[in-house]
Amino acid sequence: MTESDVARPITGPVAVIGTGVIGAGWAALFLAAGLDVVAHDPSPGAEERLRAAVADAWPSLSRLGLADGARADRLVFAADTATAVAGAGFVQESGPERMDLKQQLFAALDEAAPAETVIASSSSGLTPSEIQAMCGRHPERVLVGHPFNPAHLIPLVEVVPGRATSDAATATAMAFYRAVGKRPIHVRAELPGHVTNRLQAALWQEAYSLVERGVASVADVDAAISYGPGLRWALLGPLVNQHLSGGSGGMAHTLAHLGPPAEEWMKDLQPARLSPTLVDLLVGGVDEELRNIDEGELVAQRDDLLVALLEAKRGRAALP
């Protein structure tokens, strides 16, 4: 049986619960995909901030291509959680990463959402099994759907089922995210930080250590990635890049010739502890790196280049 055989069709609007930076990005993406969105966030002024965030994201999403019928005014802001999810075909939760709030929220979502509606959490810190334990009715439809900021532009989403998650819920989430233009990966084990944040953490660990030991400045560490392997990583992943480094011999050649020294490098990587001294070094280094740069313009240019890169990658069928 294939994934498509067990995936359920999505009927009804998408409910977005929690409309901070991540939730607003999800809402904008779903609207651009031509879907109806019902959102809720109890914070004062949340509706106004959400509508402004969608408006800010709309030009970039328009460049990438809007689905038929896509309109920002297909967004409805609900007065409470139960109303938002009562008729939802899919629920995307992006509330604060606080266990006490999550427990209250998921109990309410589980009670009010239709029985077969998938409830996906954007959580980067909680495992899906922890979240499922908050749902007494239907834990089998609960999983993690973890995006990356800016959520309306970065295609990656990590789909992480918990111990109780059904195959149908996982398949439905994977198919739904593909349908709205995401690139989902199925994470097959529950680990702190899922997959991508663990990969980032491995890099951060050595970056922090290099700064702490005075090997390189914050700006030099950033340049080492953004003007070096980061350019390749935006096109192909680290393992395929290793394969290409081996020429005609591919990955086997790379591992045979560079594997042993790489193992020695890995053994020499240093742990880093975020002491007050190191925090000051990192914060001060970033402040110095950005001293003459307008951060609003920095973000605008980043997003503009992200869109251009995504547009360019679409026409490259050989890129996996």
Confidence of residue 6 (pLDDT cuts 50, 70, 90): confident
All domains in the chain, ordered by first residue: 3-186 (3.40.50.720), 196-289 (1.10.1040.10)
* Percentage of the chain modeled with pLDDT above 90: 94
- Residue 138 confidence (pLDDT): 97
222 Cα distance to chain centroid: 21
User: Which tokens belong to 293?
Assistant: 């740069």
pLDDT at 1 over 60: no
pLDDT value for 4:
60
What is the mean pLDDT of the segment spanning 141-167? 97
Q: Where are the alpha helices (DSSP H) in the chain?
A: 3-6, 21-32, 46-64, 81-85, 99-112, 128-132, 167-179, 196-212, 218-226, 229-233, 238-245, 250-268, 276-289, 295-314
The rounded mean pLDDT for the chain is 95
Q: How high is the pLDDT of residue 200? A: 96
CA distance 3 to 299: 37
- Comparing CA positions, the residue from 24, 15, 71 lying closest to residue 43 is 24
> Could you report how far apart the first and last alpha carbons of the chain are, in Å?
24
- At 264-314, the pLDDT tens digits run 999 999 999 999 999 999 999 999 999 999 999 999 999 999 999 999 999
Determine the Cα–Cα distance for residues 110 and 120; give it in Å rounded to an integer: 11
pLDDT of 250: 96
Short-list 190, 136, 138, 198, CA closest to 161: 190
Which tokens sit at 213? Answer: 């030991």
Please say if the pLDDT value at position 190 is more than 80. yes
Position 9 confidence tier, pLDDT thresholds 50, 70, 90: confident
Average pLDDT over residues 261-265: 95
Cα separation, 195 vs 198, in Å, equals: 5
Reported confidence tier of residue 315, pLDDT bands at 50, 70, 90: confident
CA distances from 191 to 126, 180, 188, 197, 205 (A): 9, 26, 9, 10, 18
Confidence category of residue 39, pLDDT binned at 50, 70, 90 = very high
**pTM for the complete prediction?**
0.94
